[in-house]
């Protein structure tokens, strides 16, 4: 085989090697992505297990306040004030029905 034929064969092999390398890189990225996803799921499940265990240990046990000791038992939230400043809101925001005007009547 001459030098020219050898060079032509080497140049013809380059695209094949690049395609094979790209396939390997894609497969490697896919496997690495699955490994990272699986690690995330394991960490998530572990944290959830720890959270539930800690929440179960720290749950209220019921007492003079009347709590039942269940984790979902919440006291009633206080009623919110009418507004933050204590003044009533503008008339258009209060929902008064006697001050409404119909667009057709106004036109």
What are the residue boundaries of the structural domains of the chain, listed by start? Answer: 1-52
Q: How many other C-beta atoms are found inside a 10 Å radius of the C-beta of residue 66? A: 8
pTM of the model: 0.45
Q: Tell me, what's the pLDDT at 74?
A: 55
What is the rounded distance in angstroms from the CA atom of residue 107 to the CA atom of residue 103? Answer: 6
pLDDT value at 82 more than 80? no
Q: Tell me, what's the pLDDT at 89?
A: 67
Question: For the segment 6-22, what is each residue's pLDDT rounded down to a tens digit?
Answer: 899 999 999 999 999 99
Which of 4-13, 72-81, 88-97 has the least mean pLDDT? 72-81
Q: Which helix (H) or strand (E) holds 23?
A: helix 3-57
DSSP assignment string, 50-86: HHHHHHHHSS----TT-----TT--PPPPPPPSSSSS
pLDDT value at 65 more than 90? no
C-alpha torsion 76→77→79→80, nearest 10: -170
What is the rounded distance in angstroms from the CA atom of residue 8 to the CA atom of residue 84? Answer: 82
């Amino acid at each position: 085989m001459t030098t020219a034929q050898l060079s032509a064969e080497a140049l013809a092999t380059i695209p094949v090697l690049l395609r094979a390398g790209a396939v390997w890189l894609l497969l490697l990225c896919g496997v690495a992505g699955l490994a990272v996803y699986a690690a995330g799921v394991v960490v998530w499940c572990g944290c959830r297990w720890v959270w539930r265990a800690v929440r179960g240990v720290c749950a209220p046990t019921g007492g003079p306040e009347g709590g039942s000791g269940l984790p979902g038992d919440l006291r009633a939230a206080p009623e919110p004030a009418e507004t933050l400043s204590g003044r009533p809101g503008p008339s258009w925001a209060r929902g008064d029905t006697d001050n409404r005007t119909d667009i057709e009547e106004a036109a």
